Amino acid sequence: MENTYTVQEKRILSASAFVLRFDRNNMQFKAGQYLSVGLENESQARDYSIYSTEFDPFLEILVKEIKDGIVSNQLHQCKRGDLLRIAGPKGTFLLNAEKMYTHKHLFVATGTGISPFHSHIKSHPRLDYQLVHGVSCAQDAYEKSDYNKKRYILCTSKEKTGNFHGRTTDYLKTQTFDKNTLCYLCGNGDMIFEVFEILTSRGIPIENIHTEIYY
C-alpha cells in the first residue's frame, strides 16, 4: 500500500550522491529494510534502503544519481515540500536480535550499498562491528564520520586516499575472521559473489552470511 510523504530537505554528499529526508508519518520499520520511492505524480519508483535510524523522527534514503536513471534524476530535483509516494517498509536484511550483542559483525558494502549499514549501526550503537566500504574515490565515503573510525575501513580503488588502496575483495583476502562472525554483504552482485567465496574459504558457515544485491 502506498502513502504520500513530504520532503523535508536534501543533503548533498558528492557530485552524484545525496540524502533525501522526508516525513516519517509514524512508520515503523527495522534497520535493514527498504522503501519503494517515487514522485507523487510519476509512474516509476525505485527501491532504496532506509538510511535513517529506527528512532529518528524522520525517514532518510541515500541516493546516487544515475546518468540514465529516471527515478534518481527525479529525486535529485526534489525540494522541500515536494510529495513522494512510498510503499513499505519491505525486506529481511535484518540483524539477528538474539545474537546482536553476543557476536561480531562484518559489514561489507560497495558504493551506496552502505545505506542499510548506516541504519544498523546508528540504530544499535553497542554493536561489535567492522565496516568495510569499497568506493572509487574518497569523495564517495558517504558521511564516514558517522562511524567509529577504528571500525571503518575505506577501500579506494582509484585513489590512495582510503585506509586501503584496492577493492574490498583485495582487503578481505588479507584478513582473518572469527568463524562465529555474522557477515552482511550489500552491493553489486560481483562483489557479493567474490566476498562470499572468500568468507566461506576462511571457514565462515554459509548460514552466517547474509546478502542484499544493491544496484
pLDDT digits (tens, 9 = 90+) for 108-139: 999 999 999 999 999 999 999 999 999 999 99
* Domain ranges, residue 30: 2-90
Instruction: Give residue-wise pLDDT tens across range 52-107.
Output: 999 999 999 999 998 888 999 999 999 999 999 999 999 999 999 999 999 999 99
pLDDT score at 67: 83
109 and 44, same structural domain? no
Strands 105-110 and 129-135: parallel
The C-alpha cell at 125 is: 550503537
Q: Which residues on neighbouring strands pair with residue 46, listed in sequence order?
A: 37
Q: What is the CATH number of the domain that holds 145?
A: 3.40.50.80
Nearest-5° Cα angle at 24, 69 to 145: 70
CATH number at residue 7: 2.40.30.10
1 has pLDDT over 80: no
109 and 208 in a single domain? The answer is yes
pLDDT per residue over 135-192, tens digit each?
999 999 999 999 999 999 999 999 888 899 999 999 999 999 999 999 999 999 999 9
- Considering the domain architecture, whether residues 73 and 141 belong to the same structural domain is answered as no
Q: Measure the CA dihedral 110/28/53/167, to 10°.
A: -10
Domain assignment present for 100: no
Same structural domain, 60 and 24: yes
Non-local (6+) Cβ contacts of 141 within 8 A are 133, 135, 154, 162
- Confidence grade of residue 215 (pLDDT, cut at 50, 70, 90): low
pTM recorded for the entire structure: 0.96
> Looking at residue 41, what is its pLDDT?
87
Same domain flag for 111 and 203? yes
Structural domains of the chain, count: 2
CA–CA separation, 104 vs 112, rounded Å? 23
Clarify whether residues 47 and 137 are in a common domain. Answer: no
For 68, counting Cβ atoms within 10 Å of its Cβ (0-12 exposed, 13-18 middle, 19+ buried), the class is exposed
At residue 115, the pLDDT reads: 97
